[in-house]
Structure 1
Amino acid sequence: MKINKTNAARLLDKEKISYELIPYEVNENDLSAIHVAANLGENIDQVFKTLVLQGDKNGYFVCVIPGDKEVNLKMAAKASGNKNCDMIPMKELLPATGYIRGACSPVGMKKHFPTYIHQSCLNYPYIYVSAGQRGLQIKIDPNELIKVVKAEVCPLFEV
């Protein structure tokens, strides 16, 4: 099966970062990372979702967390240098990032936003993040992902 490269994959190629594109079956009624992990037969703690938030001081920023977790807004605000923050409205996602819900990759957004990744990513030799289209994940060493998106590793939810 021929897998078309996404912008995220092309950007990783350009940076000479090793990764794998892993296809999965899309369920339009369930775009959750939990569905993706089950479909891939992978541990949900290794399938990360990409969330875009807006802070009261610093504007948009990105949080990358395990798929079954909820971002703690206080912790995300603190990490990003904001007093408060919230998820951006769905209608702002595509114009801000170039990605749609269920296919938002931390790699290759329209412009670079400050990115924060949960520290648990370092517990694994590889994690999955969206490749920028529904039905496709990037399997990547978390250290390589951190480097390419210039992410800060920090706590983003209560353990």
Structure 2
Amino acid sequence: MKKTTRATQFLSKKGIDFKVIQYKHDEKGAEFASKATGFPLERTIKTLVADLGSGKYVLAMMPGDRQLSLKNLAKASSAKKAVMADTGNAERITGYLVGGISPFGIRQKVPAVMDISLLEYDSVVINAGQRGVMLQMSPKDIIKVLNCKAADLAHNP
């Protein structure tokens, strides 16, 4: 398996520190990735693609143990509403397969928002743009390199 992805190339060019973690990808999802890498679920990021309407999209980076509130995401994105993008659009926009979507090195320039709870940690894992490959890095570096904002994106129980 090749360790270099568009995401790792993008981060290397920007001089961002990260560690590549590879695992056997048997199923999609943050829970499986968390178990396979031994990284806590609340520090395992899932990157979701949402449709804001009028041809606008946004990436939402969520901890694996929390559910995205589309209402909170729309508010953070200054949009009227947000709906989950379908698989075809998510893959077309990012250039990555669902289950391997990374916010780094994506095909189209799309704004991103990170759930604020992720900033509590020194390091998190996030997809490297290939199923079975994660990057361990600082959430502050993710914010910096994507020039994105942090907001409360989770459904509050």
Say yes or no: TM over 0.5: yes
Give the equivalent residue in structure 1 for 2:67.
70
- Does residue 146 of the first structure (1) align with residue 148 of the second (2)? no
> Counterparts in 2 of 1:4-153, with a 5 A limit?
4-27=3-26, 30-56=27-53, 59-153=56-150
Shift of 1:59: 1.0
Shift of 1:57: 5.3
- 8 Å contact from structure 1 (residues 57, 81) kept in 2: no
- 8 Å contact from structure 1 (residues 57, 82) kept in 2: no
Shift of 1:56: 2.9
CA-based RMSD: 1.3
Following TM superposition, the consecutive aligned residue runs of length 4 or more in structure 1 with deviations greater than 2 angstroms are none
Helix, strand or coil at the partner of 1:131: strand
Shift of 1:69: 1.7
List runs of 5+ in structure 2 lacking aligned partners.
none
Inter-partner Cα distance in structure 1 for 2:54 and 2:66: 25
Equivalent position amino acid for 1:20 in 2: K
Query: What do the CA deviations read for 1:79-128 (whole angstroms, capped 9, x no partner)?
Result: 00111110111111221110111000011111221100001111111011
- 8 Å contact from structure 1 (residues 58, 81) kept in 2: no
Q: How many pairs were matched up?
A: 156
- 8 Å contact from structure 1 (residues 97, 110) kept in 2: yes
List runs of 5+ in structure 1 lacking aligned partners.
none
